[in-house]
Structure 1
Amino acid sequence: MSIVKTFTTATIALATSFLIAGCGGGVEGTYKLDKSEMKKSMEAEIAKMPADQQGFAKLGMALIDAMDMSVELQSGGKMKMKSSMPNLMDKDKPAKTEEKDGTWKLDGESVVLEADGKPLKCAKDGGKLTCAGQKEGEPSLVFVKS
């Protein structure tokens, strides 16, 4: 094979790998909570509740706008989760931030996140992770790759 042909083949292979990586082919990256999808999920769960329990649940739904949550899936199966929630008792105090380390792995078309020994199975659809609530009645968590 001539040097020009070798160089051309290598260039095409490299360009193809960049295209595949750029199309979100890998699961690694940072995902942020999709607040509008989270609200839709909560509304569906609230509608199933008895009327006398819906008011408190709707209050919880109102807090979604004030919270932030992200999941960073790192190469090698490492994961970092970060959440921030405003202080409801004293608005002058800073938001409560919590960070956890964990692991992740692919399981067919799903991604399994694990922190504190508790696995959470998430369906992967393009740049979106939809993680089912761990208990019945819990809304799904929806994360979008940023």
Structure 2
Amino acid sequence: MKKRVLTFLMALAMIASLAACGGGSKGPAGTYKLTSMNSGGMEMSVEEMSALFGMDIEMTLQLKDDNSFTLDMGILSEGESTSGTWKMDGDSLILSADGEELPVTYDGKAIVMDVEGDTLTFQKK
């Protein structure tokens, strides 16, 4: 009986270790949706911005597995987007487009982008 319990516990430990290694996220790759903007110290959610401007505001940032990204700016004319590349440098996420690096912070769930003094916060879907 002890041998069966020990075998069961060892199998359970092996399954748990495999789940911890393989089931996690693949880093920053994924789709992020704009949730808020801070301009001049004033924080607004996307819903508040939509109500203020009288139109739906949808911005998505997609970080692809091939280290490319697309920023779809739904607040501008239809189909307006920017694309470039992304890479992880230690704990820092670096987005590059048109030969320039875009200042962003990444905490594992959200990306905060600095655009000319305004910050855009994107949450992973």
CA distance in 1, matches of 2:93, 2:35: 17
2:29 aligns with: 28
TM-score (norm. length: structure 2): 0.68
- TM (norm. structure 1) is 0.60
Q: Which amino acid aligns with 1:66?
A: D
**8 A Cα contact 2:68 2:83, kept in partner:** yes
Cα offset for 1:65? 6.3
Structure-1 separation of matches of 2:114 and 2:54: 17
Q: Are 1:80 and 2:84 counterparts?
A: no
Task: Kindly indicate whether residue 48 of structure 2 is the aligned counterpart of residue 44 of structure 1.
Answer: no
More helix by share: 1
Q: Select 1:126's aligned residue among 104, 108, 114.
A: 108
Higher strand share: 2
* Unaligned 5+ runs, structure 2: 1-6, 43-48
Q: Could you give the per-residue CA deviations for residues 47-98 of structure 1, whole angstroms, max 9, x where no partner exists? A: xxxxxxxxxxxx9x93396321111111131112211126xxxxxxxx5221
C-alpha root-mean-square deviation of aligned residues, in Å? 3.1
Q: What is the count of residue pairs matched by the alignment? A: 110
Matches within 5 A, 1:1-146: 8=11, 11-19=15-23, 21=24, 24=25, 26-35=27-36, 38=37, 41-44=38-41, 62-63=52-53, 66-85=56-75, 96-133=78-115, 135=116, 138-146=117-125
Amino acid at match of 1:124: Y
Structure-2 residue corresponding to 1:54? none
The separation in 2 between residues aligned to 1:97 and 1:145, in whole angstroms, is 21
Deviation at 1:10, TM superposition (A): 5.7
Tell me by how many angstroms 1:141 deviates.
Answer: 1.4
Post-superposition offset of 1:99: 2.7
Give the Cα–Cα distance (whole angstroms) in 2 for the partners of residues 107 and 63 of structure 1.
37
